A and B are shown apart, each in its own frame.
Chain A
Amino acid sequence: MLDVVKDLLILLVGSSLVSNVVLSQFLGLCPFLGVSKKVDTAAGMGGAVIFVITIASAVAAVIYKFILVRFDITYLQTIVFILVIAALVQFVEMFLKKFVPALYQALGVYLPLITTNCAVLGIALTNVQKNYGIGFSIASGLFTAVGFMIAIVILAGIREKMEYNDIPESFQGMPIVLITAGLMAIAFCGFSGLL
């Protein structure tokens, strides 16, 4: 029992900070740069990503274990996961619209955007690569998505402050954001000493 808790703690620190999905694996850069103009929208996107990635890791792990391994066609994991994740996001959207309209309103446009977030697929594939069981896949998905939320909220905070700074013309807009993201990635390297 203690071993499991220890493993989960290591997984938490490892996947949310040390190998942060955005800042050290460079997955999910599109929403990271696109939806980080304001802290509250960034937090909304982060929440939606946590929600979807956790469910997607669970479903992907189940499908891998009970369909792909069984028929010995694990090499098809990428294409099957893409199918499943796209359908899953659609389904979650419909489900929320019907039963939790408040959450649907809050997540708004971010939910369909997540279909194109490669972090979702990336995490499903990484879980398989690392031979995680279903429980650990879900935990890994959840923690990685928390890492995404941390990164996007920090970047949004920095970008809100940056609005008032006098940025050289050639660096205005996306270039300075990419430089900021790069500096954040270097800062997150510091976490590698934790494990």
Chain B
Amino acid sequence: MNISAILTAVAVVGGVGLFLGIFLGIASIVFKVEVDEKEEAVLGVLPGNNCGGCGYPGCSGLAAAIAKGEAAVNACPVGGDAVGKKVAAIMGVEAGETIRMTAFVRCQGDSERATRNYEYTGVEDCSMIKYVPDGGAKSCNHGCLGYGNCADACPFGAITVRNGVAVVDKEKCKACGKCIAACPKHLIELIPYDAKTVVACSSCDRGPVTMKACKTGCIGCGLCVKACPVDAITVDAFHAHIDQSKCTGCGACKEKCPKKAIIDFS
């Protein structure tokens, strides 16, 4: 039994371990990166979903930007007013009022309203179906495909596909904007949570084409433009659009719309 061999082994491994320990200890002091206290406090009150709705890479990215003063204190679309106020308290500034936004799918062409050119059985993924003949089985080239890429993208489970059309639950929606990026038909837009009247169609085909494709498609007739007392509606490319900042929610356009494409948003 060679006792010195054991001692050498212990000494060398122990020595290496000790050296590394001290080395790392010194390194952690030498290479210390100053972390802004405010940044950590801000990160603490942010929701922590890392959804990226603010445009920064995750909550820590936004916290860093807020601490540096590059982003507004209420830049988090998910937390809304409540989080904005907390962040403002940490940063010592006044939070402006944030308008709560919600996602809205501009289509109501479900299986009863929209006609179909053929029966589709294949990959159930909107971004792929976009490339099948006629851009999907529905006659309307602009409508919801109904295979729920937006629902898959939603981190909050706010979107469900009902009868072939995606529907946003506006109570659950945090307006992070993930669904907007996921929709290959660009149907989803952010509108104020309090919006009263919306155009639930995105077709920019000519009237007769839209008329054949869907029972509730906007044909661009312009009756709503004439009906609107505050000039909030414009028709561009056979498609009506309501400027929500002007809309008073009087409902005159809804009454006049011959295709019932303008609906109450509730």
Q: Which residues of A contact B (CB under 8 A)?
A: 63, 67-68, 71-73, 76, 79-80, 83-84, 87, 90-91, 94-95, 97-99, 164, 166
Contact = CB atoms under 8 A, between A and B. Distances in A.
Interface residues of B, number: 18
Contacts of A166: 123
A63 B16 CA distance: 10
Main secondary structure of the interface of A (DSSP, over half): helix
Contacts of A63: 16
B31 A73 contact: no
Nearest to A99: B31
A97 B16 contact: no
Contact of B23 (A72, A76, A87): A87
Contact of A73 (B12, B24, B128): B12
Contacts of B13: 76, 79-80, 83
Main secondary structure of the interface of B (DSSP, over half): helix
30 contacts: A63-B16, A67-B12, A67-B16, A71-B12, A72-B5, A72-B8, A73-B8, A73-B9, A73-B12, A76-B9, A76-B12, A80-B12, A83-B13, A83-B16, A83-B17, A83-B20, A84-B16, A84-B20, A87-B20, A87-B24, A91-B24, A94-B24, A94-B27, A94-B31, A95-B31, A97-B31, A98-B32, A98-B33, A99-B31, A164-B125
Nearest to B8: A71
Contacts of B266: none
Contacts of B12: 67-68, 71, 73, 76, 80
A24 B80 CA distance: 52
Interface in B72-130: 123, 125, 128
B130 to A, nearest CB: 12
Contacts of B8: 71-73
Interface of B: 5, 8-9, 12-13, 16-17, 20, 23-24, 27-28, 31-33, 123, 125, 128
A67 B20 CA distance: 14
Given A87-B20, A94-B24, A95-B31, 18 more contacts: A63-B16, A67-B16, A71-B12, A72-B5, A73-B12, A76-B12, A76-B13, A79-B13, A80-B12, A80-B16, A84-B20, A91-B23, A91-B24, A94-B28, A97-B33, A98-B31, A98-B33, A166-B123
Contacts of A97: 31, 33
A46 to B, nearest CB: 20
A129 B76 CA distance: 55
Most buried by A among B5, B31, B32: B31
A76 B14 CA distance: 12
A24 B125 CA distance: 36
A74 to B, nearest CB: 11
Contacts of B20: 83-84, 87
A68 B8 CA distance: 10
Contacts of B28: 94
Nearest to B122: A166
Contacts of A99: 31
Nearest to A93: B31
Contacts of B24: 87, 90-91, 94
Contacts of A164: 123, 125, 128
Contacts of A91: 23-24, 27
Contacts of A90: 24
Nearest to B127: A164
A67 B31 CA distance: 27
B186 to A, nearest CB: 20
A98 B147 CA distance: 47
A147 B9 CA distance: 35
Contacts of A67: 12, 16
A87 B18 CA distance: 11
